[in-house]
Amino acid sequence: MPLSIQPCPSLNRMEMKKGLFIFILSLPLLSSAQVSESGILGVWLNEKKEAVVEIYQDNGRYFGKIIDIRGRHAHHKEALRDINNPYPEFRDRPLLQMPLLENLRYEDGEFVDGTAYNPRLGRYFKCKAWLVSEKKMRLRGYLGFFFATEEWEKIEWR
């Protein structure tokens, strides 16, 4: 006996299209909503793949410090100093263990109201961050109306 496939009499073509359309629209919401606040904790590699930054929580705020240096300066990372810092008293501090992100607080899916320091430029920026996925974070630094965004990658550390 040959098998024949008959359309479901209770669903018409318009209802099926509507259901498919709603499902497709909801896909981005499902992927971005699954990342939790604690997902920012851990070890991240910056976009230039030169600084390894540990992000940790202290009293409800989030901070990040440099725990390793890679790339062309890796062979003498212990000797690297914060020579471009605008404050003379900080110019002799080592880059390793130096604070890079300070005072981020979690609000509505983003980490806001923080400060980021760029040792290459010797500048402090207002910043915010958000998780794109479990392994990707975007960090945006602001200077007045101008901003720049980097994408960092979460890595396994030792």
Q: Classify residue 11: in a domain, yes or no.
A: no
pLDDT confidence of residue 28? 47
Calpha distance 128→125 (Å, rounded): 10
Q: Classify residue 12: in a domain, yes or no.
A: no
Q: Classify residue 151: in a domain, yes or no.
A: yes
The pTM is what?
0.76
- Give residue-wise pLDDT tens across range 140-158: 999 999 999 999 999 998 7
Average pLDDT value for residue range 110-123? 97
Q: Tell me which residue of 60, 58, 55, 61 sits closest to 40, measured CA to CA.
A: 55
pLDDT confidence of residue 96? 96
Please answer whether residues 154 and 135 qualify as being in contact, where contact means their C-beta atoms are separated by less than 8 angstroms. yes
Q: Classify residue 59: in a domain, yes or no.
A: yes
pLDDT confidence of residue 15? 60
Average pLDDT value for residue range 16-24? 50
Reported in sequence order, the residue ranges of 1-135 that DSSP labels E, i.e. its strands, are 42-45, 51-58, 61-69, 99-107, 110-118, 123-131
Q: Classify residue 19: in a domain, yes or no.
A: no
Is residue 33's pLDDT more than 50?
no
Q: Classify residue 66: in a domain, yes or no.
A: yes
Residue 10 one-letter amino acid? S
Q: How many domains does the chain have?
A: 1
Q: Classify residue 13: in a domain, yes or no.
A: no
Spatial CB neighbours of 123, under 8 Å, sequence gap ≥ 6: 86, 117, 143
Q: Tell me which residue of 130, 105, 102 sits closest to 116, measured CA to CA.
A: 102
pLDDT confidence of residue 2? 58
What is the domain-level CATH number for residue 45? Answer: 2.40.128.520
Q: Classify residue 14: in a domain, yes or no.
A: no
Enumerate the H helices of the chain as residue ranges. 13-33
4 or 46, which is more confident? 46
* Residue span of the structural domain in which 61 resides: 37-155
